[in-house]
Amino acid sequence: MGTRRESGRAGGGRRWAVFGWPARAAGLVLALALAVPVTLPAASGAAAPILFGASVSQSGVFARASHAQITAYRLAEEVINSQGGILGRPLRLVIYDDQSSASQGVILYRRLVYQDKVDLLLGPFSSAVTFAVAPVVDQMRVPMVAPQAADPKIWSEGRRYVFGVLPRGDSYLNGAVELAKQHNLHTLALVYQNTAQPIAAAGGIRERAKALGLSVVMDESYPTDASDFTEQMSKAKRLGADVVIGGGYINDEIGIVKAAKAVGYSPKMIALMISASDPNFIKELGADGDLVSGNTNWEPYFKTPGNADFVAAYKAKYNEDPYYDTAASYSAVVLLAQALRAAGRVDREAVRNWLSTTKTVTLFGDYAVDKNGLQIAKQAAIFQWQKGRRVILWPASLHDGNLIIPQNFWQK
């Protein structure tokens, strides 16, 4: 049935408490990103907790990539409780491990609603698991904010209770195709993981390349358990592709870069779709990750409400840098809390109506959805790692640097 991770525990069983934080972090939590009135909690033990339920891939192929999601969920839970909870009641998260399995995710979301009696739901990791869970959530009529799903197909069947946070997944690397055109890079090697979100992004890449007159000279997918990409990078080298574009999650995106170096392939641009923005990407690759480009939906320096305090508190708690998956997941918890406060009671239909109609700005950025719950207010951006910093190249409204095209990717 999956492994249950009780509220208040991070991976490995270590217990976190707000009052155990470093002093500088404790001073930050009261300022964090819940731009709504706060009701003080009732006397200890007098109020039953409000339950948010989720399944997160803490084992299996998505385990490493999902780390930022569960840490963000935990931080949001602690911050909300430090501010008095929701409607005078503490928040408690009930989180299971779906083992990166869509079928297990379906089982666990049913368990959360029917057995654990959670009030509201937070989404799982990946478009693949969310795609399987979404119709079940609709059937159960329990609102779910899904911060780690971007494939628009999830919402194509007229969802009513599932709400996105990320930009459309088929637009993730369209900006990289635009940059390739601007810099006279004409040929693309499209290599991507054979799962829902990478497939959606690959479709957008093909369409944008065709519209701009660029050639996709290689178009190949790989399975989720792929670990050796030398064959794909050798082929891209033989074809002389100017740009390697695509990828999937952190292990395979690191693997693509390592394979390109191993076969002596130096493209003019490497653009990866999901995990290149993860700080662990550049930590593991070091200089070899420099000048790799990727998609980003958020940055620590964005001037969104509560963002600076969130970044500081996250670093103090986990001793690591947040990135866009972290900010999106934290904001999902905040959105559910805001919806409950707006309703003034635990009312699933009132929460659904608020999430369906509200236009707001979280620390992650703009939030608004279409009639099916698909996020429509946010645009993906393209960055490039430059000396350990993510420099946004596109769109022009967020631009803070220019694309660097290396003479040799491995001799910078």
Whether the pLDDT of residue 11 is over 50: the answer is: no
Helix (H) or strand (E) run with residue 203 in it: helix 196-212
Sequence spans of domains, the chain: 3-167+301-367, 170-296+381-398
- The whole-angstrom separation of Cα 141 and Cα 162 is 9
**Segment among 2-16, 146-160, 165-179, 307-321 with least mean pLDDT:** 2-16
CATH number of the domain located at residue range(s) 3-167+301-367 in this protein: 3.40.50.2300
SS (H, E, C) 355-405: HHHCCEEECCEEECECCCCCECCCCCEEEEEECCEEEEEECHHHCCCCCCC
Report strand pairing: 91-97 vs 3-6.
antiparallel
Whether the pLDDT of residue 287 is over 60: the answer is: yes
- The whole-angstrom separation of Cα 195 and Cα 198 is 6
**Segment among 10-14, 67-71, 85-89, 354-358 with least mean pLDDT:** 10-14
- The whole-angstrom separation of Cα 332 and Cα 379 is 17
Tokens of 370: 């279409």
- The whole-angstrom separation of Cα 41 and Cα 119 is 18
Return the sign of the alpha-carbon dihedral for residues 300, 306, 308, 312: negative
pLDDT band at 166 (very low <50, low <70, confident <90, very high): very high
Asked if 124 and 55 touch (Cβ cutoff 8 Å), the reply is yes
- Angle formed at CA 281 by CA 123 and CA 395, multiple of 5 degrees: 75
What's the CATH superfamily of 170-296+381-398?
Response regulator (3.40.50.2300)
- The whole-angstrom separation of Cα 333 and Cα 27 is 21
pLDDT band at 4 (very low <50, low <70, confident <90, very high): very low
What b-and-e string marks burial along 55-90, b requiring 16 or more CB atoms within 10 Å of the CB?
Answer: bbbbebbbbbbbbbbbbbbbbbbbbbbbbbbbbebb
- In this prediction, residue 78 carries a pLDDT of 97
Q: Which residues pair with residue 222 across a beta bridge?
A: 193
How do residues 86-102 score in pLDDT, each as one tens digit? Answer: 999 999 999 999 999 99
pLDDT band at 353 (very low <50, low <70, confident <90, very high): very high
- In this prediction, residue 363 carries a pLDDT of 97
**Would the CATH topology of 3-167+301-367 be identical to that of 170-296+381-398?**
yes
Mean pLDDT value of segment 287-308: 95
Neighbours of 25 (CB within 10 A): 17
Whether the pLDDT of residue 1 is over 90: the answer is: no
Asked if 106 and 140 touch (Cβ cutoff 8 Å), the reply is no
Whether the pLDDT of residue 15 is over 80: the answer is: no
Q: What is the DSSP string of 222-257?
A: E-TT----HHHHHHHHHHT-SEEEEE-SHHHHHHHH
89 SS3 class: strand
- In this prediction, residue 348 carries a pLDDT of 98
- The whole-angstrom separation of Cα 315 and Cα 324 is 14
- In this prediction, residue 43 carries a pLDDT of 39
Residue in the block written with tokens 């236009």 = 359
Reference 294, options 175, 395, 194, 185; nearest CA is 175
Mean pLDDT value of segment 200-219: 98
How do residues 238-250 score in pLDDT, each as one tens digit? Answer: 999 999 999 999 9
- In this prediction, residue 29 carries a pLDDT of 36
Q: Give one word for 141, left, alpha or beta, with left for phi > 0 and alpha for psi -120 to 50.
A: left
Whether the pLDDT of residue 33 is over 50: the answer is: no
- The whole-angstrom separation of Cα 135 and Cα 263 is 44
Residue 364 CA to its chain's centroid (Å): 10
Greater model confidence, 46 or 241: 241
Greater model confidence, 298 or 33: 298
- The whole-angstrom separation of Cα 82 and Cα 79 is 5
Whether the pLDDT of residue 157 is over 60: the answer is: yes
- The whole-angstrom separation of Cα 108 and Cα 28 is 34
Q: N- to C-terminal Cα distance for the chain?
A: 49
Q: Average pLDDT of the chain?
A: 90
78 SS3 class: helix
How do residues 308-343 score in pLDDT, each as one tens digit? Answer: 999 999 999 999 999 999 999 999 999 999 999 999
Report strand pairing: 120-122 vs 50-56.
parallel
Whether the pLDDT of residue 218 is over 50: the answer is: yes
Report strand pairing: 187-193 vs 215-222.
parallel
- In this prediction, residue 412 carries a pLDDT of 81
Dihedral, 160, 165, 166, 171 alpha carbons, nearest 10: 40
Cα distances (angstroms) measured from residue 285 to each of 64, 120, 261, 275: 16, 39, 11, 13
Reference 330, options 369, 300, 368; nearest CA is 300
Whether the pLDDT of residue 384 is over 50: the answer is: yes
- In this prediction, residue 46 carries a pLDDT of 63
